[in-house]
């Protein structure tokens, strides 16, 4: 049932591309694009581009988790630190990673490091804020009970705060994967100097004659995000079934 919306989207796309709503040479129909998707997945050159994009996204997500979770725990549990740095956090958070591409290219270059750094910047915030605000939602009775049994500050953090915050942190990870993927592809597209789906789309769009490839590459990027979200949702249900509403849906 969850794929009905996607099927409707492709149906509307098919109709729009075969009418006068959109010029057919710009918006190729799914009946032409989807077979090209299958063909691309069998081509070695595109496989390398796909692996490069996914690998950069996973590296960026891993770094973002390693930075954002400890930072969120500190900001959520140490009020003086939170008050001291929240203005800086709120200043940096709205800055689009794409807007930093020219600066990153000048300072870092056009290699894989650029897209990873920018993706880390974009992926930090959902994990950071989910971790930080998850600590605010912990029932004080739980922490007071742990302290009453002689548990120290670090023990309360490890045994009470982290398990309670984990489902929310994982939700932030799900959101951050999509953001990291979008930033990686955008950086590949706009910088044009590193292998990936974005570079493939950039090269295919030259001259406007290969719109099948452009749209196929875009669809594959969407399918990567969709597959990752399904996988992370499944893992969330397996790891944190106790935190889900009755019925197992979130």
User: DSSP secondary structure string, 68-89?
Assistant: HHHHHHHHHH-HHHHHHHHHHH
Whether residue 9 is contained in a domain is answered as no
pLDDT of residue 35: 93
Whether residue 38 is contained in a domain is answered as no
pLDDT of residue 248: 47
Integer Cα distance of 37 and 27 in angstroms? 15
Integer Cα distance of 201 and 94 in angstroms? 27
Number of domains in the chain: 1
Half-sphere exposure of 62 (CA within 13 A, CB side): 6
Whether residue 181 is contained in a domain is answered as yes
**Nearest CA among 115, 121, 123, 72 for reference residue 92:** 121
> Residue 78: which CATH number?
1.10.3720.10
Whether residue 26 is contained in a domain is answered as no
Can you list the residues of the chain whose pLDDT is less than 70? 1-2, 20, 22-25, 137-161, 192-193, 207-209, 242-250
Residue span of the structural domain in which 70 resides? 45-243
Whether residue 31 is contained in a domain is answered as no
pLDDT of residue 139: 57
Whether residue 10 is contained in a domain is answered as no
Q: What angle do CA 161, 116, 65 make, to 5 degrees?
A: 5
pLDDT digits (tens, 9 = 90+) for 204-239: 888 666 888 999 999 999 999 999 999 999 998 888
Whether residue 30 is contained in a domain is answered as no
**Nearest CA among 249, 139, 114, 39 for reference residue 241:** 249
Integer Cα distance of 22 and 201 in angstroms? 20
Whether residue 21 is contained in a domain is answered as no
């Amino acid at each position: 049932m969850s794929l009905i919306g996607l099927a409707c989207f492709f149906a509307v796309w098919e109709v729009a591309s075969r009418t006068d709503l959109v010029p057919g040479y710009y918006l190729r129909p799914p009946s032409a694009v989807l077979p090209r998707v299958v063909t691309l997945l069998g081509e070695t050159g595109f496989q390398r581009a796909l692996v490069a994009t996914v690998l950069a996204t996973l590296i960026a997500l891993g770094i973002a988790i390693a930075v954002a979770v400890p930072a969120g725990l500190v900001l959520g549990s140490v009020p003086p630190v939170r008050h001291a740095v929240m203005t800086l956090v709120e200043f940096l958070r709205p800055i689009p990673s794409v807007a930093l591409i020219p600066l990153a290219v000048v300072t870092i270059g056009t290699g894989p490091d650029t897209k990873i750094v920018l993706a880390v910047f974009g992926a930090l915030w959902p994990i950071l804020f989910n971790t930080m605000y998850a600590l605010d939602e912990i029932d004080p009775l739980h922490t007071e009970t742990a302290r009453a049994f002689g548990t120290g500050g670090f023990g309360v953090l490890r045994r009470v705060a982290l398990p309670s915050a984990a489902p929310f942190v994982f939700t932030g990870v799900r959101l951050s994967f999509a953001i990291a993927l979008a930033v990686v592809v955008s950086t590949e597209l706009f910088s044009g100097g590193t292998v990936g789906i974005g570079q493939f789309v950039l090269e295919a769009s030259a001259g406007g004659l290969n719109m099948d490839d452009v749209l196929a590459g875009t669809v594959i990027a969407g399918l990567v995000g969709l597959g990752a979200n399904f996988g992370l949702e499944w893992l969330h249900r397996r790891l944190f079934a106790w935190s889900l509403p009755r019925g197992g849906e979130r």
